[in-house]
Structure 1
Amino acid sequence: MSVSLPPLFSALRQTLRAGYGWGQLRGDLSAGLTVGIIAIPLAMALAIAVGVAPQHGLYTVLVAGSLTALFGGSRFNVTGPTAAFVVILLPVTQQFGLGGLLLCTLMAGGILIVLGLMRAGRLIEFIPYPVTLGFTAGIGIVIATLQIKDLLGLQLAGPANNYLEQLSGLWHALPSLQLGDSLVAVVCLAVLLIWPRWVPKIPGHLVALAVGALLGLLLENLHIPLATLGERFSYSLNGVEHPGIPPFLPAFVWPWQLPGADGQPLAVSFELFRQLLAPAFAIAMLGAIESLLCAVVADGMTGSKHDPNGELIGQGIGNMIAPLFGGITATAAIARSAANVRAGAYSPVAAIVHAGVVLIAIVFLAPLFSYLPMAALAALLLVVAWNMSEPRHVQHTLRIAPRSDVMVLLTCLILTVLFDMVLAVGVGLLLAAGVFIKRMSDLTDTAALPKDFHQALNDLPEHVLAYAIRGPLFFGAAEKALSVLRRFTPGVKVVIVDISAVPLLDMTAIAALDNVLRDYRAQQVGLVLSGPTPRVRLQLRRAGMEQVDGQLAYVRDLPHAKAKALRWLTPKTDAALEVV
């Protein structure tokens, strides 16, 4: 008996089989340097967006980015914090603090590993496009709204419990608008939108942040107030507070040793794990969808093929180890992975190099990050939110999609914005499943066969009726399809039903067919099922419906069905069941 091993190092093994030399290494080094530079400000901005200090985003890239590339199943995926997680992680941080967030991430990593071991890597194929598009567009709207506070330098009265309260708080805080923050935001947004058209080879967000930092220094010299990363965040070293982020590597620490929402270490209990289980499961599902979708996009750009189960296990390992070193939730990012491919990446080495670039930035450039204006980081996230919401795709889908798919998309979008993504995806999947069931049931029908349908039906006696059922007989269609057979016509002694176009039965259909047989027995009417597939006939046999008081027969085709019907009508064979 052979035992299948977990698909670890799938991408690396695929790379080695394809061959690896100095030319490929140069491509990986160049791509890793490019993507690493892109990842630094994004990682800090996304960490701030989920309610933790910016260095935790860098730690995420450093640990999860390298481990996922090493153990995962995609050669080109680049892992780190992503905007899609903001709507899930921010409430966890607010309720359970940093310790709760990291513990929840660790639990999500375990779930991802289990999914990979269960070979659930094809999960993405079962998520309808309107559901994915709806909740990603909703996430983009929520992220964009969250950035308004730092874009304009507003002073909010307090945290909001829902999206509508958040909008109300922003409206009432407009009188506190700061000129310096607003000016930096406008300039950075202009650079982010215009620069890629002029110089696409140099990442526009780096130029925008540099311009924002220089403008911030100028405004400070003019004594115009401006919120910076160094003013908002600090770290303690030898009992002395320093602005910005620490210029040293993270230390190992258990998540429950870190402070919760009350500032005290987490009290580990079954109740805590119970409360974190739902968001951990949501994080794992979203992480699986994002990473697998990212791998599919990368495959389309390169012609490669990823290992979905290996990718899930790699993502799980990264999300289990990263929290032990201060890293938050991570998954593959489509924008960074696409940039990785365009920059010449060949293997997971590029993603490992990108993590190394972040390591160098932490050690040598940390003091410079203190000068970054919060408005500049908010402008960066605003553009990220706009891109991830895919307004063109949403508009195109609303214009051409069936009304049922439009309903699913809008429901997911609205629920994501007003409530949360977990509810939106759950309801969206239920709606999509309901739409699918309705469409499949519409394909199943029962119709009377005219005499000229088949030569075998010619000259049938008046007390023999012929029907045909087309389509799958399952719980959504069985009652509708079989109800036609229960409309008795006076004088009918035998009913022929062509089921050659019925690919499957479920238990609801079997139970409904059994009820039809009971009614026929009461009316002394025989039933001939013509052309059942081997699978359907096996299902009926297992249900004990091979022979029912000489009343039911299975035959190969319509000629045999006619012969069986005529044989039943003669008094000599009326009580005998002879299967042709």
Structure 2
Amino acid sequence: MRTMRSGSRAGRRSLAHLLPSPADYSGLRRSWRSDLIAGVTVGIVALPLALAFGVSSGVGAEAGLVTAIVAGLVAAVFGGSNVQVSGPTGAMVVVLAPIVAAHGVGAVAALSLMAGAIVLAAGVLRLGRSVSYIPWPVIEGFTAGIGVIIFLQQVPSALGVGIGGHASNAVVAAGQTVAEAAWPGALLPLAVVAVVAVIMLALGRWLPAVPGSFVAILVVSVPVALLDLPLDTIGELPSSLPAPGLPSFDLGVLASLVGPAFAVAALAAIESLLSARVAATLANTGALNADRELVGQGLASIAAGLFGGMPATGAIARTAVNVRSGARTRAAAIAHALLLLLVVIAAAGIVSRIPLAALAGVLMVTAARMVSVSTFRRVARSGRSSAAVFLVTAFVTVAFDLVIAVGIGIAAAAFFALRALSRMSGAHLEPLPGDPQPGDERIALFRVEGSLFFGAAERLLDEVAARDDVAVVILRLSGLQLVDSTGANALGEMVTALERRGATVLIKGVRPEHLPLLERSGAIGALRHPNHLFAELEPAVEHARSHVRRAGYAI
């Protein structure tokens, strides 16, 4: 009974670690002014991005704005970072666009609920630290690939063709759009895109504190509205949040959404945890609770789905703006969501007249910033294998699928890592210690070091087995850092082969952590006698010389 009570208390403490607490706002009395300023600043930055990402994904500007409000508020309260800002992101657009094309807009809310539940379960199961296993070149590679796709997805709006081209590859769709554009009519939306890009780049260079995307959209939207230029606009937006409710469920559609839901959940978890990790390095804003972050992001996507929104993730760019604007507690991200809600209530009519070409310009500049030449140079300087992983991940992201790209990138990184680990392993022939004695030439002493695993075992042990002119082989295993089941099995097979050939095998210096595996695999049992396992080198060498003398090799 006492054990059950203690287990119950431990379970409650574990669950409490994943829930909000008053400690989340312990510094608010000192930082509320800077938090409020940061929240307003990031809200101004987030407004055009939320609209643009909603339109670009095919779900609509309203869904993007609703997601930024609802998911941004829920993730701020329940997430594991004190400064994370969540909402629709470019990476999610890349995944959602083909799903919308295949299943329709109506499936997105159900998809958001399903993906949110998966991310929530991952947090409860304490899988938050798993993102640390994704190599840096893979992260940068799919970030660059996402940037290319986002840029290409804006080509229809930039040419005044409308939102489309999501049913096929982004490169193909962009090329078809250019071929189908109505010239010279396409020059007008292109001019709007150019003006937005110039303003954002200029302000980013000379006035980085000014929200360039907001200013750019304001500058182009006013003359477009006054002159009534023939440009597609966002269209009517609601003046309040929609009522929450469960989306319509069709079992056939739900079954077809299981795979996409896992893909969306994987992306949401990866991007959110990466964003939170970046935020933790920008300022001293408190520790990151990775598991709680997943819980918060899962609840955020569920809430967004109930309000007709789309799956959300932590947004790296908006989170960075939040921190650099002075945010220190969750109040800043909450203020950002409330500001966007105020825009919906008080300025929906004005926002609805923003040209789609202006949003395309914002996303094109955002995408261009994601493809960083300096980042690729840093990756390339890290080694040819890192550059190869980066390029492979970026290519697969653009050509096929983001989640597939992450898997292939991790596999490529693992291959290069195992190859490097294999090259660091080896079996080196050493002279026997002490003064030379007759018959020593019939004894081979090998120092086996590095890793004896599936990627190196056969090559490493072939070096030992190649010595067929000796009577005794001594294997020094104290330098082994890693032994897996394949390596242990290969070692056992080599000992058996040497013994069958007439050579006596002595093993010296097996580490305690390796001994159980070597015993289970039969490597120790393959020795001719249990006394052929030694802890020290000198007794092993003396035993080997006694074998040579008895065999008559020492003359």
1:6 aligns with 2:11: no
Identical aligned residues as a percent: 35
Equivalent residue number for residue 252 of structure 1: 244
- Answer whether contact 1:7 1:309 (CA < 8 A) is retained: no
Tell me the CA shift for residue 13 of structure 1.
5.2
Equivalent residue number for residue 401 of structure 2: 420
* 2:442 pairs with one of 463, 487, 495: 463
Equivalent residue number for residue 387 of structure 2: 406
What is the rounded CA distance, in whole Å, between the counterparts of 2:74 and 2:20 in structure 1?
A: 12
Encode CA deviations 1:123-182: one digit per residue, 9 max, x unaligned.
Answer: 222111111111111111111111122122136997652234313312312334434322
Change over 3 Å in CA distance of 1:313–1:142 after alignment to 2: same
What is the rounded CA distance, in whole Å, between the counterparts of 2:275 and 2:527 in structure 1?
A: 59
What is the rounded CA distance, in whole Å, between the counterparts of 1:99 and 1:363 in structure 2?
A: 24
1:119 aligns with 2:153: no
Tell me the CA shift for residue 26 of structure 1.
2.1
Change over 3 Å in CA distance of 1:549–1:117 after alignment to 2: same
Equivalent residue number for residue 529 of structure 1: 507
What is the rounded CA distance, in whole Å, between the counterparts of 1:7 and 1:473 in structure 2?
A: 43
- Answer whether contact 1:457 1:558 (CA < 8 A) is retained: no
1:75 aligns with 2:82: yes
- Answer whether contact 2:63 2:310 (CA < 8 A) is retained: yes
1:352 aligns with 2:334: yes
What is the root-mean-square deviation in Å for CA atoms of aligned residues? Answer: 2.3
Greater displacement, 185-194 / 152-161: 152-161
- Answer whether contact 1:32 1:350 (CA < 8 A) is retained: yes
What is the rounded CA distance, in whole Å, between the counterparts of 1:7 and 1:456 in structure 2?
A: 67
Equivalent residue number for residue 258 of structure 2: 277
What is the rounded CA distance, in whole Å, between the counterparts of 2:112 and 2:445 in structure 1?
A: 61
- Answer whether contact 1:247 1:364 (CA < 8 A) is retained: yes
Tell me the CA shift for residue 564 of structure 1.
2.6
1:189 aligns with 2:197: yes
Unaligned ranges ≥5, structure 2 = 1-5
What is the rounded CA distance, in whole Å, between the counterparts of 2:27 and 2:478 in structure 1?
A: 55
Name the amino acid aligned to 2:124: L
Equivalent residue number for residue 228 of structure 1: 233
Normalised by the length of structure 1, the TM-score is 0.88
* 1:297 pairs with one of 262, 272, 278: 278
Change over 3 Å in CA distance of 1:378–1:522 after alignment to 2: same
What is the rounded CA distance, in whole Å, between the counterparts of 2:436 and 2:523 in structure 1?
A: 25
Name the amino acid aligned to 1:184: V
Equivalent residue number for residue 224 of structure 2: 216
- Answer whether contact 1:468 1:497 (CA < 8 A) is retained: yes
1:355-366 aligned at under 5 Å gives the runs 355-366=337-348
1:386-535 aligned at under 5 Å gives the runs 386-398=368-380, 400-451=381-432, 454-455=433-434, 461-490=440-469, 492-535=470-513
Equivalent residue number for residue 61 of structure 2: 54
Encode CA deviations 1:22-58: one digit per residue, 9 max, x unaligned.
Answer: 3322222222122122212211110001001211111
What is the rounded CA distance, in whole Å, between the counterparts of 1:79 and 1:156 in structure 2?
A: 25
Encode CA deviations 1:222-281: one digit per residue, 9 max, x unaligned.
Answer: xx4222112xxxxxxxxxxxxx111111112222x2xxxxxxxx5223xx3443222222
Unaligned ranges ≥5, structure 1 = 231-243, 258-265, 573-580
Is the partner of 2:451 in helix, strand or coil? Answer: coil
Greater displacement, 471-480 / 162-171: 162-171
What is the rounded CA distance, in whole Å, between the counterparts of 2:243 and 2:50 in structure 1?
A: 19
What is the rounded CA distance, in whole Å, between the counterparts of 2:378 and 2:231 in structure 1?
A: 40
Equivalent residue number for residue 296 of structure 2: 314
Tell me the CA shift for residue 185 of structure 1.
1.9
- Answer whether contact 1:510 1:543 (CA < 8 A) is retained: yes
- Answer whether contact 1:297 1:334 (CA < 8 A) is retained: yes
Change over 3 Å in CA distance of 1:431–1:225 after alignment to 2: same
- Answer whether contact 1:9 1:70 (CA < 8 A) is retained: no
Change over 3 Å in CA distance of 1:352–1:567 after alignment to 2: same
Encode CA deviations 1:77-113: one digit per residue, 9 max, x unaligned.
Answer: 0111111111101011111122322222222212212
Change over 3 Å in CA distance of 1:159–1:462 after alignment to 2: closer
What is the rounded CA distance, in whole Å, between the counterparts of 2:215 and 2:506 in structure 1?
A: 77
What is the rounded CA distance, in whole Å, between the counterparts of 1:352 and 1:431 in structure 2?
A: 40
What is the rounded CA distance, in whole Å, between the counterparts of 1:107 and 1:86 in structure 2?
A: 17
Is the partner of 2:105 in helix, strand or coil? Answer: helix
Is the partner of 2:389 in helix, strand or coil? Answer: helix
Tell me the CA shift for residue 569 of structure 1.
4.6
Equivalent residue number for residue 3 of structure 2: none
* 2:135 pairs with one of 116, 123, 128: 128
Between the two proteins, the alignment pairs up a number of residues equal to: 539
Change over 3 Å in CA distance of 1:134–1:7 after alignment to 2: farther
- Answer whether contact 1:150 1:375 (CA < 8 A) is retained: yes
Tell me the CA shift for residue 534 of structure 1.
0.8
Is the partner of 1:105 in helix, strand or coil? Answer: helix
Is the partner of 1:144 in helix, strand or coil? Answer: helix
Tell me the CA shift for residue 372 of structure 1.
0.6
Tell me the CA shift for residue 463 of structure 1.
2.3
Is the partner of 1:447 in helix, strand or coil? Answer: strand
Name the amino acid aligned to 2:386: D
What is the rounded CA distance, in whole Å, between the counterparts of 1:86 and 1:569 in structure 2?
A: 73
Is the partner of 1:352 in helix, strand or coil? Answer: helix
What is the rounded CA distance, in whole Å, between the counterparts of 1:558 and 1:448 in structure 2?
A: 14
Normalised by the length of structure 2, the TM-score is 0.91
